[in-house]
Structure 1
Amino acid sequence: MGLKAVLSKVFASLVNRQLNHIRQNAVTLQQKTFSDLVYTAKNTAFGTDHQFALINSYEDFKKNVPIRDYEELRPYIDRVIKGEANVMWPGKPSYLAKTSGTTSGVKYIPISKESLPEHIKAARNALLSYIYETGKADFVDGKMIFLQGSPVLNEKNGISTGRLSGIVAHHVPGYLQKNRLPSYPTNCIEDWEEKVDAIVQETAKEDLRLISGIPPWCQMYFDRLSAVSGDKKIKDIFPNFKLFVHGGVNYEPYRARMEEVIGTQIDSIETYPASEGFIAFQDSQKEKGLLLMVDAGIFYEFIPSEEYFNDNPTRINIKDVELEKNYALILNTSAGLWGYSLGDTVKFVSKNPYRIVVSGRIKHYISAFGEHVIGEEVEHALMTVAKQEGVEVVEFTVAPQVAPAESQLPYHEWFVEFGKEPADLTTFAMKVDRALQQKNIYYFDLIAGNILQPLIVRSLKKDTFINYMRSQGKLGGQNKVPRLANDRKIADELTIYII
């Protein structure tokens, strides 16, 4: 074991003590965060408009600050982008994180000098928590690769602008820089396929021990590595590869295919970073869920997902949440986002400490007939049956077919790219349908009442989703395929790939 690994164990023990304080004092820390945020921003334009100086409680805050998504906050954000100071947070942001929204096109999220260190600290603590719990630290002595966006930054009115992962790349601690891949020139390649090929060439003979990135793009990297290495398994290319760090999407639909190409099961750490803030990370290999960052400059609010589109939905803070209930996640941050609807839904699996799972997107659901099927339900149904049947799923998306051929009932149409096909696609679809009915009573009622017919699975050609994302100019980076839609925009594009 090298010196870095030895020192990391000492550091991990110190950080775990800090995390224990956070685990045991979440409600108190959230109240302090709330008070600090409101006090700090009281003299900003937003704080003045919403009477922050008169806010003395969370109840006051709810009366003064409505829930808004990006578009609704845009009049303030546009002022920030134009270079105006003291709009939503004191001064100007250090960066603007450029991100592709599913409903707002390109978004620019402010990152302040107060919020940026929290991104770095949370990513570091995720690794240190793993080291503390497992005692495994050898990975810090080898090479690590982070598949991410380009670190090249542009400027908007004097503010550096780029992808979050590219921004963070400029602030990686010095003790990790020598171990870190890809090289800066390779990381700056904009075209994703060209970049992956360059990374393959650069890393094929390195001692990679940790690999990090969004699962579908890591899968693409692994496939190309395997192809240029004579179809070797990743474990044979990188014998010391022991840890996979992922985020951005639910890993479970990718796990079987990833482990097949790797050639073995491997430890993994799930993280929940967003341009708006680093929200949670997996702090234990033994416990379910991600530890919510309650002391990181974010005050969280939660709206029961079934009330989200109501005129006056219930808004609660962390002390009033219930287990196993889906909530829309609302953020108030030290970069000046207020009552900000992130668009994600989360579910608490523990309150001691507060751990969450990401259950879907508030606007990604199917409710063409009132069924309100959500991402968590379709992923559970598909992956449960796939595991039982020994089927591998590469990627999928689901859309309603409300106008089928004459005399047919409407149905949910599932477009699935398989790594390993079902023995019988019709039987497989029937089993997935039954699993979905068990998860969603409204869907069950529609099937039982002959309002909908059982779902239909369309098997897609190899590399369908890579080709689709390429056609949309969204290959690689932080881009993800929406799993659910109420329209057929994606579905109709995918029909040409049906086997």
Structure 2
Amino acid sequence: MAIVGSIIKGIIDLRDKIVSEPDAEEAQLEVLMSLLTKARDTAFGKHYGFEEILRSEDIKKTFAEKVPYFDYNKLNTEWWYKLHEGEENVTWPGKPPYFALSSGTTGKSSKRIPVTEDMLDAIRKTGIKQVGALSNFDLPSDFYEKEIMMLGSSTALQEEGDHEEGEISGISAGNIPFWFRGFYKPGEEISKIEEWDEKVQRIAENAKNWDIGALSGIPSWMELMLKKVIEYHKVENIHEIWPNLQVYTTGGVAFEPYEKSFNALLAKPIIVIDTYLASEGFLAFQQRPDTDAMKLVIDSGIYFEFVPFKAEYINKDGSINDKAPVISLDRVRENEDYILLISTVSGTWRYLIGDTIKFTDVGRHEIRITGRTKFFLNVVGSQLSVNKMNDALRELENKYDIKIPEFTLAAVRINGEFYHSWYLGTETQVSDEELAKGLDEALKEANKNYRVARSKALKGVKVKTISPELFQEWSGLNKKKGGQVKMEKVMNEEKFAKWEAFIQKQENES
């Protein structure tokens, strides 16, 4: 048994026994009071009367009454633009040293989200909590001596005046603690490479020099990297290169769509641990093995609020209207979908991050991401969320023994009638017509609103199967490969027309 690994495991086990779980309601109130206190002298804090909110008898209620909802466009247009004009103390004290670039899945251009030193400190603290939670997964001592492959965007950030810009994975990797750097792969030199294909080629060339015990990154890009390493070394699976690989820390998107194709690259099962690290902060991580849900980080710089996920509260652009009610953490219920709002130490306030979640265990404050507000397909009353779409596709995978890691769809009008037009990324001999029928039936079973829509305004379902690689090519064409880039699941008609033209061009050239 490795001595160093035993020492590290012992420290983690001891820390897990010593650190007690805070009371959630008290912890969240303390976070909110800390946020308001620190930002009360900012332009935002003065405008919305943070001093007055802090003196109120019910701080959470008064905060919700006085400060409106913000999505990125509103917060940037009204406040954050001032940071780029040289102002300081705008929504948080001082000026942020970094901006996280996030085009997300629907934006035409990159969002620029402030990342303060306070946020970097909060991310580091949550990272330590996550490492501490590894003691719950019964990993052998020698695991703690292995290296970790963190596949993200370039750590070579762009200097823009008085700050630097890059994706949050690159910013975070560039600020990892000194004691962790010896475990971190692909290392500083390769991590700075901007070009995705070049970076993955260098990883493949060096793969045999590393003893990787854990992987971390978005599933779609991690899968492509593993395939490249396997292909380069002419082996059957990744365990022939990294025999001690035992853990994959995923995040950014649901892992279930990628599970079958990802597992096909392995020789033996590995532990999959989900995380919720967004450009706006490190929100949650999976704390224990007997669940696939993640525990909200309730005591580290993020105050959470929840809006019931109902069609009447959502505008066409995915934002929420002013009539939408808000619920605090102590009033949420299990298995109900909520739109997530956060206020953070980076100066986001009642901020619509764009994700929908549900609580699987209220007592443990464990959640699952169920979709995106902009991916809520409700053109003709079908009220389809991404989790319902994913569930239906998992049924197709099981029924036909196929893998469908990627998909996108839109509501289209043909001869005046609405159809849901799906593109499935899969290699299969099953006909598009049969898959369309199976998908339609699965959705009818899972969603009563969809079933009603299919009997009225929604005429039918169309499916076209394409190579999964085309989804990555599309992402590379419109944004860039790797990092935090995620494929949009639901497109509007304008975007879908461009997507179909892209697919047609690829088919004509092949």
What are the superposed Cα offsets for residues 229-287 of structure 1, whole Å, 9 maximum, x if unpaired?
22421112211111111111110000100000223321111100011110000111102
Counterpart among 29, 46, 49 of residue 48 in structure 1: 46
Match of 2:171 in 1: 167
| Higher deviation after alignment, 300-309 or 348-357 | 300-309
Match of 1:110 in 2: 114
What are the superposed Cα offsets for residues 92-138 of structure 1, whole Å, 9 maximum, x if unpaired?
22322222242362222112222212212223322331233424343
Q: CA deviation at 1:330?
A: 0.6
1: CA distance, partners of 2:26 / 2:232: 54
2: CA distance, partners of 1:456 / 1:205: 47
The TM-score with structure 1 as length reference comes to 0.93
Counterpart among 133, 155, 158 of residue 159 in structure 2: 155
1: CA distance, partners of 2:292 / 2:262: 20
Q: CA deviation at 1:456?
A: 2.0
1:112-131 aligned within 5 A = 112-131=116-135
Q: CA deviation at 1:176?
A: 2.1
Match of 1:186 in 2: 190
| Higher deviation after alignment, 93-102 or 180-189 | 93-102
What are the superposed Cα offsets for residues 317-353 of structure 1, whole Å, 9 maximum, x if unpaired?
1011111111111111112111111111111111111
Aligned residue type for 1:350: D
Q: Number of residue pairs matched?
A: 492
2: CA distance, partners of 1:324 / 1:242: 31
**Structure 1: 5+ residue runs without aligned partners?**
none
| Higher deviation after alignment, 177-186 or 426-435 | 426-435
Q: CA deviation at 1:463?
A: 1.7
Q: CA deviation at 1:186?
A: 1.3
1: CA distance, partners of 2:33 / 2:468: 52
- Given that 1:12 and 1:132 are in contact with CA atoms closer than 8 Å, whether structure 2 keeps it comes out as no
Q: CA deviation at 1:488?
A: 5.0
What are the superposed Cα offsets for residues 16-35 of structure 1, whole Å, 9 maximum, x if unpaired?
3466413xx11110011111
Counterpart among 28, 52, 67 of residue 69 in structure 2: 67
Secondary structure of 2:75's aligned partner: helix
- Given that 1:71 and 1:104 are in contact with CA atoms closer than 8 Å, whether structure 2 keeps it comes out as no
- Structure 1 residues 374 and 436, CA, compared in 2 at 3 Å: closer, same or farther? same
1:52-451 aligned within 5 A = 52-55=50-53, 56=56, 57-74=59-76, 75-101=78-104, 102-103=106-107, 105-306=109-310, 307-308=313-314, 309-403=320-414, 406=415, 409-418=417-426, 420-421=427-428, 423-449=430-456, 451=457
- Structure 1 residues 15 and 454, CA, compared in 2 at 3 Å: closer, same or farther? farther
Match of 2:476 in 1: 470
Aligned residue type for 2:418: P
Secondary structure of 1:371's aligned partner: coil
Q: CA deviation at 1:371?
A: 1.4
Q: CA deviation at 1:9?
A: 1.9
- Given that 1:365 and 1:485 are in contact with CA atoms closer than 8 Å, whether structure 2 keeps it comes out as no
Aligned residue type for 1:140: Y
Counterpart among 450, 466, 469 of residue 460 in structure 1: 466
| Higher deviation after alignment, 486-495 or 284-293 | 486-495
1: CA distance, partners of 2:165 / 2:412: 41
Match of 2:31 in 1: 33
Secondary structure of 1:262's aligned partner: coil
- Structure 1 residues 134 and 454, CA, compared in 2 at 3 Å: closer, same or farther? farther
2: CA distance, partners of 1:291 / 1:20: 15
2: CA distance, partners of 1:152 / 1:82: 24
Q: CA deviation at 1:424?
A: 4.3
Secondary structure of 1:410's aligned partner: strand
Q: CA deviation at 1:168?
A: 1.3
- Given that 2:28 and 2:299 are in contact with CA atoms closer than 8 Å, whether structure 1 keeps it comes out as yes
Counterpart among 463, 480, 490 of residue 484 in structure 1: 490
Secondary structure of 1:132's aligned partner: helix
Aligned residue type for 1:349: T
Match of 1:6 in 2: 6
1: CA distance, partners of 2:351 / 2:468: 39
- Given that 1:82 and 1:157 are in contact with CA atoms closer than 8 Å, whether structure 2 keeps it comes out as no
- Given that 2:97 and 2:162 are in contact with CA atoms closer than 8 Å, whether structure 1 keeps it comes out as no
For the aligned residues, what is the CA RMSD? Answer: 2.0
| Higher deviation after alignment, 434-443 or 25-34 | 434-443
| Higher deviation after alignment, 463-472 or 281-290 | 463-472
- Given that 1:288 and 1:349 are in contact with CA atoms closer than 8 Å, whether structure 2 keeps it comes out as no
- Given that 2:69 and 2:352 are in contact with CA atoms closer than 8 Å, whether structure 1 keeps it comes out as yes
2: CA distance, partners of 1:3 / 1:329: 44
- Given that 2:203 and 2:229 are in contact with CA atoms closer than 8 Å, whether structure 1 keeps it comes out as no
- Given that 1:297 and 1:333 are in contact with CA atoms closer than 8 Å, whether structure 2 keeps it comes out as yes
The percent of aligned pairs where both chains have the same amino acid is 28
1: CA distance, partners of 2:94 / 2:14: 34
Aligned residue type for 1:382: L
- Structure 1 residues 166 and 3, CA, compared in 2 at 3 Å: closer, same or farther? farther
Aligned residue type for 1:69: D
Secondary structure of 2:300's aligned partner: coil
- Structure 1 residues 157 and 14, CA, compared in 2 at 3 Å: closer, same or farther? farther
Q: CA deviation at 1:467?
A: 2.0
- Given that 1:399 and 1:488 are in contact with CA atoms closer than 8 Å, whether structure 2 keeps it comes out as no
2: CA distance, partners of 1:133 / 1:243: 10
Secondary structure of 1:33's aligned partner: helix
